[in-house]
């Protein structure tokens, strides 16, 4: 049994721990830099104020957790980018509000919201943008997505035998092996592939094209740029009179067969002798 695809993953608990340590490290570095700057310029240095304004980095803890959840969502990549930018903007808006509240409660002088907002953009924008880009990249390559999958093959990797099972992860990150014969169809769900199984819908980090090379071509047939169907699950095929077809699966799902793939599908469908077209 050969594991064909198993990406490195960081789970939510690990991200929270890394975020905490990372934020505390950045806060400490910021305080040290403030002290060094004060020594270099021969100006006054106030530890309490330095700690207060360094809380900017503590906001990375909830920010990174939110980013990881966003990139585990089965939504379009463009929407993820928009949501990520929204988190970035929210970070800069929450920062002056946090400074205002903390200074009003614990300090003799209250720092105005707009003054701190301008300070944040002036001092942290570039470093924050670079750090957000890095964090987003790391999250993207280590989080295959909510319920993302690894594929496991029952045949030796040196043979050309098709897949017979897939190793998937449930919401508790427990590995479960499912038979491909139970799967109704695969659908494009950028940047993932949806696995439509009787129990639930899973996601996979492969593409439909890469899956096509691993699946049994006599059972799993490409019917559309967005679908690969299990012909054993098809119970009816009806022409649209324009070269396209509508097929009905055993669970009642109706999918469209594009005219580009219609000929190959009908051939496989007839060979299966499931129904007369």
Overall average pLDDT of the 206-228 stretch: 87
Grouping H, G, I as helix, E, B as strand and the rest as coil, residue 174 is: coil
pLDDT tens, position by position, 176-199: 788 888 999 999 887 778 889 988
- As given in the structure block, the two tokens for residue 34 are 């403030």
pLDDT recorded at residue 162: 64
pLDDT tens, position by position, 107-119: 888 999 999 999 9
Q: In 10 A of CB 180, how many CB atoms?
A: 21
pLDDT recorded at residue 14: 66
| Residues 135, 141, 145, 148, CA torsion sign | negative
- As given in the structure block, the two tokens for residue 189 are 């769900």
Residue 71 clears pLDDT 80, i.e. is over it: no
Q: In 10 A of CB 81, how many CB atoms?
A: 12
Grouping H, G, I as helix, E, B as strand and the rest as coil, residue 139 is: helix
Q: In 10 A of CB 105, how many CB atoms?
A: 8
Overall average pLDDT of the 135-150 stretch: 60
Q: How far apart are CA 19 and CA 118, in angstroms?
A: 25
Sketch out the chain's domains with CATH numbers.
Answer: 2-142 (no CATH), 149-272 (2.40.50.1020)
pLDDT recorded at residue 109: 86
The C-alpha angle with vertex 219 and arms to 217 and 223, in degrees rounded to 5, equals 75
Q: How far apart are CA 101 and CA 121, in angstroms?
A: 19
- The answer to whether 169 touches 151, Cβ cutoff 8 Å, is no
Residue 11 clears pLDDT 70, i.e. is over it: no
Q: How far apart are CA 34 and CA 21, in angstroms?
A: 20
Overall average pLDDT of the 209-216 stretch: 84
- The answer to whether 15 touches 136, Cβ cutoff 8 Å, is no
- The answer to whether 262 touches 244, Cβ cutoff 8 Å, is yes
No. of H helices and E strands in the chain? 7, 12
Residue 277 clears pLDDT 90, i.e. is over it: no
pLDDT tens, position by position, 38-69: 888 888 788 888 889 999 999 988 888 888 77
- pTM for this one? 0.50
Mean pLDDT of the chain: 80
Find the Cα–Cα–Cα–Cα dihedral 70, 74, 78, 80, rounded to 10°: 0
Beta strands across the sheet bearing 245-249: 234-239, 245-249, 254-257
Q: Which residues contact 221 (CB under 8 A, 6 or more apart)?
A: 228, 229, 231, 261, 264, 265, 268, 269
Q: In 10 A of CB 175, how many CB atoms?
A: 12
pLDDT recorded at residue 13: 63
pLDDT recorded at residue 171: 59
Distances (CA, A) of 95 to 91, 111, 115, 208, 211: 6, 12, 11, 43, 45
Higher pLDDT, 15 or 128: 128
| DSSP letter assigned to residue 233 | G
- In DSSP terms, 202 is beta-bridged to 195
């Amino acid at each position: 049994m050969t594991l064909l695809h198993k990406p490195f993953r960081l789970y939510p608990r690990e991200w929270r721990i890394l975020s905490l340590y990372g934020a505390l490290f950045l806060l400490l570095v910021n305080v040290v830099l403030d002290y060094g700057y004060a020594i270099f310029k021969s100006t006054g240095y106030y530890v309490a104020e330095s700690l207060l304004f360094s809380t900017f980095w503590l906001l990375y803890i909830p920010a990174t957790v939110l980013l990881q959840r966003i990139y585990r969502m089965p939504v379009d990549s463009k929407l993820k980018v928009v949501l990520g930018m929204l988190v970035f903007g929210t970070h800069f808006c929450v920062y002056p509000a946090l400074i205002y509240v903390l200074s009003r409660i614990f300090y003799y002088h209250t720092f105005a919201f707009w003054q701190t907002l301008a300070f944040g953009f002036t001092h942290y924008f570039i470093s924050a943008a670079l750090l957000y880009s890095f964090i987003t990249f790391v999250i993207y390559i280590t989080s295959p997505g909510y319920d993302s999958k690894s594929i496991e093959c029952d045949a030796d990797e040196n043979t050309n035998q098709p897949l017979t099972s897939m190793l998937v992860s449930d919401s508790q990150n427990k590995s479960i092996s499912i038979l491909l014969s139970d799967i109704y169809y695969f659908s494009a769900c950028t940047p993932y592939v949806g696995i439509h199984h009787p129990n639930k819908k899973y996601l996979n980090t492969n593409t439909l094209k890469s899956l096509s090379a691993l699946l049994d071509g006599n059972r799993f047939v490409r019917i559309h740029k967005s679908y690969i169907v299990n012909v054993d699950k098809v119970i009816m095929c009806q022409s649209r009179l324009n070269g396209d077809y509508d097929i009905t699966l055993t669970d009642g799902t109706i999918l469209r067969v594009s005219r580009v793939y219609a000929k190959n599908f009908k051939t496989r469908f007839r060979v299966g002798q499931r129904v007369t077209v």
